[in-house]
Chains A and B, each alone.
Chain A
């Protein structure tokens, strides 16, 4: 069989009528990641309703986030915004004593032009807690881009290298630590400029990636965000930065332009192929020859064999809602799947350049055409295409999952990829665990009878 290989990569754009989560949902994972933070979402009942329903059980665990719910008086400017926010922030300080309060601007604050950026420094000075402002609203952004806005705001607060409190602390600590340890450190890491990774990952995934680089004797000097706001990494001229997630283009821009950092453009460490490519892009920057990566990747693929047998030659359709789509599609193509369409809310061709070119290479390597990439997709058109193509798997939001299942199309909720651990060599299996779950269930239910369960 000969396959015509389309080598050009094009990005189409549709109407933008698609389902995704509101970007304020980033609060749910960021408040857990940054342990000493408090997120205050300045919005309406609509925002609150979304958060409480989307985050389900978490709300009952005394979360470190809340709504500053705007009432009619706030909208018509009968009440004083500054006094209102001040009252709430003082209460938060009293009840929770966070190291930072992050205001999340919403559609409403945009429309009524509430000057959050203007108020924050003044209030910060008045109550003595740093206040960051991130405009994670549905007018401009989709789902995971919320994290991007928060991290971009946070980048401004990172200390400059020479004034870093942490480093000073470390110097003092090192002074007291025994000599043997010091020697060990010296041989462990090559002497290279500092490298900061950006993107919020569960702490154990972050340390896995740290270890991965340590194997190449590269030291990660910090993460944006760190586990604690007080531990933000030093940034500045001469610091190299590299992203771990594809939706962080604003953060990347901020790091380059405002913080004068050097961005290492690399594919994202999702899947063993992505992880290897990611490390291979970082190493040469520091003049290091990557060691043993090929074997390591090979071993991981070997360990995925049972799952690869399940997914090979199966087709998949990404409806698009969290910006991880290109990286996931690239990994799945490498796994032997056929990707019909990559829907994606927003495509930053510059920030994702290395990922896109790896996608292109992977398609060539696997001898499949490059799938169409659809930015700002239109869900009703997509459903029509899904009906025509009958893919083996549709990766989609929860609004469409059950209706598609009822029509005999297997689905996987895209949201799970955002919350699962999918980065690095060790977690490649978790991605496939998610992708194969509907396929495995289908196999288990083979004897159940009809797969189409809607009345015509």
Chain B
């Protein structure tokens, strides 16, 4: 592997880039496959060892590249253009296998942080304490505390006190990996504060309990309102997208499947009433995004005629969500943080 190969795979600097690093067999490729390719977690057992840096593009709200580096390489050999690499990335995600001995990984991590931080002080450093599905509940907290403590000490020894390092407990067998990636991606969206503000406004005026802005393919949420995220609500909302899309796909006629691009598609919208009076609401937004909201109907006084009440609420929500979508489109047109020519390259 020589320098040219790395240069080819090096991501375009106009994309927000996430760099996935870690020791070998830490689970990096599995994470990529599960989150971005909808692979079943069990199937990742059969993945081969990654031998060269791979880079993938994901066009979502922001154009995202995820670059995965093989674990067994040493990046500080002179043949690697590591400086250029670290300069171009927005976030560095380091995967630590929590079921394995992690002291080696921590040393490796602090060397990488030291180098990356020197090259690019604006880089976000994220640490995934991975494969926690195999640890018992108490031990997870212990492991996290231990890893945080040791990393802090190492960085202190290197004289890097100001570096912000975020830690996440993750596993590909539940939704924690999506949660972690959602947080990481959110840090790279420059419009996040205004997005959150808009969603807060939507929630305040529509009696919505919780709202997510999802990327439909990866089930990562790029924004949510400011109320705390309940992991169960997130899971249900993510699965609601799957169900809506799956049902819709079943009725695409076979002959139309080929040229689906040519047919102008209507936006998908779905509403589901639950037995406890809540309502799940989904509406398609721009750029492969979907807005999913959980609407709770706790109003006891009006429960006598919940149907009519809910219909009024839904009409208001429909209107408000329409406004939100218009705003989102406007915001997107005006946010020219990358030159227009780049868009065509990946279109």
Asked if A and B bind, the verdict is: no
Interface residues of chain A, those whose CB is within 8 Å of chain B, are: none
